[in-house]
Amino acid sequence: MTKRIALVVLLAGGLSRAQAQTTILRDPEIAGMVKEVNPDSLRSYIKTMVAFGTRSTVSSTTDKKRGIGAARNWVLSKFNEWAAASGGRLTAVVDTTTYAADGRRVRSNINLGNVVATLKGTDPNDNRIFIISGHLDSRRTDVLDGTNDAPGANDDGSGSAAVMECARIMSKHSFPATIVFVTVSGEEQGLLGSTYMAKKAKAAGWNIEAVLNNDIMGSNNSNETNVIDNTRVRVFSEGLPYVDTGRLAERVRQMGLENDSKSRQLARYVKETGERYVDNLQVVMIYRPDRFLRGGDHSPYQNLGYTAVRITEMNENFNHQHQDVRTDKGVVYGDLEEFMDFEYLRKNTAMNLANLANLAKSPGMPQDVRVEVRNLTNSTQLSWKAPAAGSPKGYYILMRETTSPVWEKKIIVGGTEASLPYSKDNYFFGVQSVSAAGNESLPVVPVPGR
């Protein structure tokens, strides 16, 4: 029953977790792409987006210079520019639909459109899809006003610019799995574009393994405290999946898995991978689907059972969000470029890129991951099957104490089973596939098996 255990990487010790991983595990190809993320590129995208005057979802879709239609066409033209250099692997469309007046935030029928660029995976046997999303639309204080200026530099020019910069850099590389770069519309009218896309994906049977939704992540300057801190960014994840069969909640309760949902595993992965590749950035996990009683473009995916997280700056400034541009008693309101921090946006974009690249380069997740429960014992026997896609060099067994938010120990194993001298009563476990270059799949939590 003794299995090959090649290496034990202890993350505790003299170095912080991030430093230890930086030393051990950077993939040079990903580190190279991370270096290419450019604050000037990000700034130029946002300047152009703001120059459309308004990007309200209920603004003109036919005006060549002003409104959401012109903005959509411009994002498409940038995707197409990069597609031309990708050898035909990147393709882009504006995916449109008619959204009927709903009497709430849409008062007459509109042409709703998401700008979608797809970097097709190179492995025909790999149907995995990883999505990065931002919302192109902006809003005024009155969400029904599609006429007057709504710059939307940070909300969500920041997320849209991050999506574009990742597409620019990553389309020069190839990945076994598919990456979709999307700027949606209709977020401010009620998550219309992301709902349209998530439902379409579900109906088409897309194997989406992760969605990174970026919304408001290019400034970090609370209106209450004036604290400027560009070293921390939040990742929100749901603990209990919205889609539940009853059976799932029962297992979560019985095994104490309230902190091990798929979206929370993704959040943990985003933190670890982001901190591995981006210096001076701490990814702070928030154990909530979104900010208090609010939602975002990851929600429609989560509601259909997909794994998704929201990435947002640490301190929002509500003077600069959903506000008409104006000066009132000496205070400037409005979502303007001048309030943004492009070095912060560079780091947050790089953090996304590192995660997308590491996921899309990784082998598929191990299948049928089980923990042996035939006999009562103070050790732990795990077994699994090779993934459907890719050929892993090995597997990481992840371990943490039940009170720890992050994985504490990684054990590299060559085969598809392992016997560990640690009690399953006292630790949580997960298993990841890992490539020769050290790219890990998302982890799978073992289920009881015999």
Residues lying near Zn ion in the complex (CB under 5 A) are found at: 155-156, 215
Q: First and final CA of the chain: distance in angstroms? A: 15
86 within 8 A of 119, measured Cβ to Cβ: yes
Q: Is 4 helix (H, G, I), strand (E, B) or coil?
A: coil
b/e map 1-33, b = 16+ CB within 10 Å: eebeeeeeeebeeeeebbebbbeebbbeebeeb
CB of residue 216 to Zn ion, shortest distance in Å = 5
Which residue number, 114 or 380, has a Cβ lying nearer to Zn ion?
114
Which residue number, 116 or 143, has a Cβ lying nearer to Zn ion?
143
Which residue number, 156 or 238, has a Cβ lying nearer to Zn ion?
156
Write the single-letter amino acid at 351.
Answer: M
Radius of gyration of the chain from its Cα atoms, rounded to whole angstroms: 22
CB of residue 263 to Zn ion, shortest distance in Å = 19
Which residue number, 156 or 165, has a Cβ lying nearer to Zn ion?
156
Which residue number, 289 or 390, has a Cβ lying nearer to Zn ion?
289
Question: Would you give the DSSP letter of residue 54?
Answer: B
Which residue number, 348 or 380, has a Cβ lying nearer to Zn ion?
348
CB of residue 68 to Zn ion, shortest distance in Å = 14
247 within 8 A of 333, measured Cβ to Cβ: no
Which residue number, 158 or 439, has a Cβ lying nearer to Zn ion?
158
Write out 268-332 in H/E/C secondary structure: HHHHHHHHHHCCCCEEEEECCCCCCCCCCCCHHHHHCCCCEEEEEECCCCCCCCCCCCEEECCEE
CB of residue 134 to Zn ion, shortest distance in Å = 9
Cα dihedral 301→303→308→312 (10° resolution): 100
CB of residue 154 to Zn ion, shortest distance in Å = 9
CB of residue 161 to Zn ion, shortest distance in Å = 13
Contacts of 196 (CB under 8 A, 6+ apart): 95, 97, 99, 112, 114, 186
Which residue number, 137 or 209, has a Cβ lying nearer to Zn ion?
137
Give the integer Cα–Cα distance in Å for 131 and 248: 26
| Nearest residue to 230 via CA among 349, 406, 356, 354 | 349
CB of residue 435 to Zn ion, shortest distance in Å = 35
Which residue number, 155 or 341, has a Cβ lying nearer to Zn ion?
155
Which residue number, 156 or 316, has a Cβ lying nearer to Zn ion?
156
Give the integer Cα–Cα distance in Å for 308 and 305: 9
445 within 8 A of 421, measured Cβ to Cβ: no
Is residue 242 within a helix (H) or strand (E), and if so which, with residue range? none
| Nearest residue to 122 via CA among 64, 197, 173 | 173
List of E strands, 88-192: 90-99, 110-119, 128-135, 178-184
CB of residue 153 to Zn ion, shortest distance in Å = 12
Give the integer Cα–Cα distance in Å for 80 and 311: 26
Structure tokens at 411: 């054990």
CB of residue 252 to Zn ion, shortest distance in Å = 30
CB of residue 237 to Zn ion, shortest distance in Å = 18
Question: Would you give the DSSP letter of residue 58?
Answer: T
CB of residue 283 to Zn ion, shortest distance in Å = 19
Which residue number, 45 or 277, has a Cβ lying nearer to Zn ion?
45
